[in-house]
Structure 1
Amino acid sequence: MARKNLLEFTPKGIYCQQADIYIDPWQPVNKAILTHAHGDHARRGSNYYLAHHTSAHVLRLRLGEDINLETIAYNEPIYIHGVKVTLHPAGHIVGSAQIRLEYEGEVWVASGDYKTEPDFISQPFEPVKCHTFITESTFGLPVYQWKPQPQIMNEINQWWEDNQNQDKVSVVFAYSLGKAQRILCNLNHELGKIFVHGAIWNTNEALKKDGLHIPATIRVNRELAKDEYRGGIVIAPPSALATPWLKKFQPYATAAASGWMTLRGAKRRKALDRGFVLSDHADWNGLTSAIDATGAQRVYVTHGYKSAFARYLNERGIEAYEAETLFEGESIDNVPVEGED
C-alpha cells in the first residue's frame, strides 16, 4: 500500500504541509521545529521555534535572546492543524530530539542527528515506531564502530597524565556543544586544572541554566599567567586549531575527539599529536539497530554516506531513498565562534 507523505524535502527544509511547519529549516520560515541546537540544524531568522526544554538557553545563546521560542518535554503532545507532534530523545546532545508526526494514522519520525550509546549527560536514545523514518548516515559504513565511552575517556585521562610527565599542556579539540561537555564530565579532576575556551564556557553557562551539572572549570583569558596552564588540560573548539590562540600554552600536545579519527591519516592531516575516536553520532551498528527498532517500511537517508547506506537498506528489503539537505554531520573543522579569548 502506498504511504502518504507527511514530510517533503523542499528548498527551505523538511516541510509538513498539513501542519505548515518545517523541521530544522536551512532558510528562515514562519514556524520551525528544531531537533537540536547545532548550527546546521538551528538557524537564525524564523518567526517561531519549537524545541525541547533543555535546549532553551543554548538556543537563545546561539540564535538570539529575543527569538520566539516555545519548549516542551519529551513525549508531551502538541497538536498543529490536526497533526500530533511529539519529541523523543535522540541521544545526540543535551536537549536533542527526534520529531514524531502523526496524521490520520500515518506516523513519520525525523531523527535529526542521533547516537544510541548512552553518554550519561543527555537523555538516552529512544526508538520510536513509525511508518517512515528520516535518518542521518554520517558514519554509515561498517568501518565505523565505536569503542565504549569509558574506554575512550580512560585513554584521554592517561594521555593527559603522560603529557604532565613531559611538562606539557594538553589541548583537546571538541565541539563546543555536546562533545566538550561529555569530556569535561569524564575527566579525572584530581589530575590537575581544567581550562575551557570562551565559546565552551559560554555554552556551559547556558546549559547550566537548563539544568545540566557541569564540573568546575577555568575560562581561558588574557589575564592568566602562562605558568597557570602548566600540567593542565584545555578543551577548545576545532576553530582554535592551528591558530595563534594556542601560543599561550606552549609547550603543549594536541588531540581531537571525533569519529573521523577512525580514518588513517585524519590525525596527520590536522597535524595533531593524538586522535580519540569519540562521536555524538551513531556508528554503523547504532544506525542499523535504530532503524530496525523503528519498524519503518520506508527510510529517507540524509547527510553522510547516504548513497552507500541507502543501497544497503534496499538490499535488506527496506524501501530507502537518498534525500538532499544542508545538514553537515560531524567535522573536525569548524567555523569561528564567539567567545574566543
Structure 2
Amino acid sequence: MSAPAPLIPRPEGLYCPSGDFYIDPQRPVPRALITHAHGDHARAGHGAVMATRQTLDLMAIRYGEDFTASRQPAQGETQIGDARVSFHPAGHILGSAQIAVHTQGVRVTVSGDYARVANPSCAPFEPVPCDIFVTEATFGLPVFRHPDPATEIDKLLDSVARFPERAHLVGAYALGKAQRVIMLLRERGWTGPIYLHGAMLALCEYHIQQGVALGDLRPATTDQMRKADFAGQIILAPPSAFEATWAQRFPDPVICFASGWMAVRARARQRGVELPLVISDHVDWPDLTRTITELDPAQTWVTHGREDAVIRWCELQGRVAIPLHLAGFEDEAE
C-alpha cells in the first residue's frame, strides 16, 4: 500500500495528516499554520496558530488580541506530530513566509503568496529545496509581465508635477501594498508628507516599529486642513474608499490604483482609474516559471489563480503538475 499524500486538499484548506494541522485554512480548525496576514490566508477563530512573529502581530492588529486561543511564533525547525516544519521568507509582505514541511521522507514547500522582485518593506524570497512545490498562480498567464515598479512610481510623480492643483489618490491594499508604495515613493525622491486613510495608520505604525522607514506620514483628515491644502499631495487609501463620499474631500483628485491587475485596461476602466500603476506583490509569469525551473521539484502543485496555464507549461517542460482547486483565495488583495 502506498504512503498517504504528505498534504491533502480539504474544504477547510491544505491538510497535513502526519502533523494534524492545516496551512492557511479557510475555516476555523484546531491547529493552523499561516503563511501571511492577508485576510484570504489568515483568518480568526482557529484553536492554535503558528506563524512568524510579525504575522501574528499583524493578525492581532487586524482581528484583535483574541483572534486565536493560542499563538506560537515560528522559530527554526519545529516538530509537529510526525512532521517537521520551518518558515522561510516569501518576499510578499512583512512577515510573509513559505512553509516547508518534511514528512514521510518528502519535502514540501507551500509558498503561500510570493514575489521575486525587491521589496524594501519585507525580507526577500528565499528558495527552499523541495520535492513538491506548492505555487500560487495569481498572474499565471504569459501575458502578465510586470514592469519595473520604479517606472510606475515615476509616472505618479510626473503626474503630481504636471497637475499641482490636483490631489493624487492612490488606491492600495492597506497591508503590504500601501507600505511598499510608500517605500517606492521615498526611493524615487518624494520627501514630503504622504497622507493616509485611517484604515492604514495602525498598520503603517507597526511597520515603522519593525524598522521600515516610511518617513513623514499624516492622517488624511480635514480637521486641520482645508480641501485646497491637499492640492499637489499624495493620499493613500483602500480602493473601497473611493466609492464613498470620503474621496470628495480632495481637490479634483486623480484616481490612481496600485495593482498587478492594472495591466488589464478593462479593470482600470471599470474602477474609474485615471492613472493605473502596475505594481504587484505576486510573481508574474516569468518569475513564476523561473522559480519552478530553479527549484526543479519532482512535482508542482498549483493553487489559487490561473492553474490551467501553469499546468500546461509544466507539461510542456516535462514536469509533473497537479491543480489543487483550493477555494477562497483572492486573485490579488485589493
Measured in 2, the distance between the counterparts of 1:24 and 1:119 equals 23
- Checking the alignment, whether the CA contact within 8 Å between 1:58 and 1:207 is kept in structure 2 is no
Q: How far did residue 133 of structure 1 move?
A: 1.1
Q: Which residue of 2 aligns with 1:12?
A: 12
Unaligned runs of 5+ in 2: none
Q: Match of 1:241, SS?
A: helix
TM-score, scaled to structure 1: 0.91
Question: Which residue identity lines up with residue 87 of structure 2 in the other structure?
Answer: L
Amino acid paired to 1:282:
V
8 Å CA contact 2:193–2:216 kept in 1: the answer is no
| TM-score between both structures, scaled by the size of structure 2 | 0.93
Residues 101, 109 of structure 1: 8 Å contact kept: yes
Alpha-carbon distance in 1 for matches of 2:211, 2:31: 26
Give the drift of 1:168.
0.2
Structure 2 matches for 1:76-91, cutoff 5 A? Answer: 76-91=76-91
Paired residue secondary structure (2:309): helix
CA distance in 2: counterparts of 1:194 and 1:283, whole angstroms: 28
Asked whether the 8 Å contact 1:132–1:299 carries over to 2, the reply is yes
- Distance in 2 between the 1:95 and 1:160 partners? 32
SS of residue matched to 1:280: coil
Q: Distance in 1 between matches of 2:332 and 2:214?
A: 23
CA distance in 1, matches of 2:80, 2:132: 19
1:171 aligns with: 169
Secondary structure at the aligned position of 1:275 is classed as strand
Cα displacement (A) at 1:276: 0.8
Q: Is it true that 1:284 corresponds to 2:285 in the alignment?
A: yes
> 2: distance between equivalents of 1:191 and 1:79?
47
Counterparts of 1:94 and 1:191, CA distance in 2: 23
Could you tell me which residue of structure 2 aligns to residue 97 of structure 1?
97
Aligned residues: 327
Map 1:154-169 → 2, pairs under 5 A: 154-164=154-164, 167-169=165-167
Q: CA deviation at 1:185?
A: 1.3
Unaligned runs of 5+ in 1: 333-341
Secondary structure, counterpart of 1:300 in structure 2: strand
Partner of 2:318: 317
Change (3 A) 1:57 1:214: farther
More displaced stretch, 187-196 vs 224-233: 187-196
Instruction: Give the deviation of 1:3 after TM superposition.
Output: 7.7
Describe how 1:145-294 pairs up with structure 2 within 5 A: 145-164=145-164, 167-188=165-186, 190=190, 192-225=192-225, 226-294=227-295
Equivalent position amino acid for 2:140 in 1: G
TM-aligned CA deviation for residue 251 of structure 1: 1.5
CA contact (8 A) 1:196 1:234 kept: yes
In the alignment, the residues of structure 1 paired with residue 184 and residue 210 of structure 2 have an alpha-carbon distance, to the nearest angstrom, of 20
**Inter-partner Cα distance in structure 2 for 1:50 and 1:56:** 8
Deviation at 1:241, TM superposition (A): 2.3
List per-residue Cα deviations over 1:221-274 (Å, max 9, x = no partner): 341332332221100111112221101002211111111111132221111111
Secondary structure of the equivalent of 1:38? coil
**Identical counterparts, % of pairs:** 35
Bigger CA drift: 293-302 or 271-280?
293-302
Letter of the 1:48 partner, please give it: A
Q: Distance in 1 between matches of 2:24 and 2:89?
A: 16
Select which of 318, 329, 332 maps to 1:330: 332
Name 2:113's counterpart in structure 1. 113
| Residue aligned with 1:187, SS | helix
SS of the aligned residue for 2:162 comes to: helix
- How far apart are residue 94 of structure 1 and its match? 0.9
- The DSSP-based 3-state class of the residue aligned with 2:61 is helix
How far apart, CA to CA, are the structure 2 residues paired with 1:3 and 1:313? Answer: 25
Q: Report the AA paired with residue 63 of structure 1.
A: Y
Q: Does 1:48 align with 2:48?
A: yes
Displaced runs of 4+ in structure 1, greater than 6 A? Answer: none
Which stretch has the larger CA shift, 239-248 or 155-164?
A: 155-164
Once the two structures are superposed, residues 161-208 of structure 1 have per-residue CA deviations (whole angstroms, 9 ceiling, x without a partner) of: 2231xx000000011111110111122565643101111112112333
* CA positional deviation for 1:4: 5.3
- What do the CA deviations read for 1:59-114 (whole angstroms, capped 9, x no partner)? 111232123222124xx111111311011111111110000000232101111001
Give the residue type in structure 1 aligned to 2:103.
Y
Q: Which moved more, 1:60-69 or 1:76-85?
A: 60-69
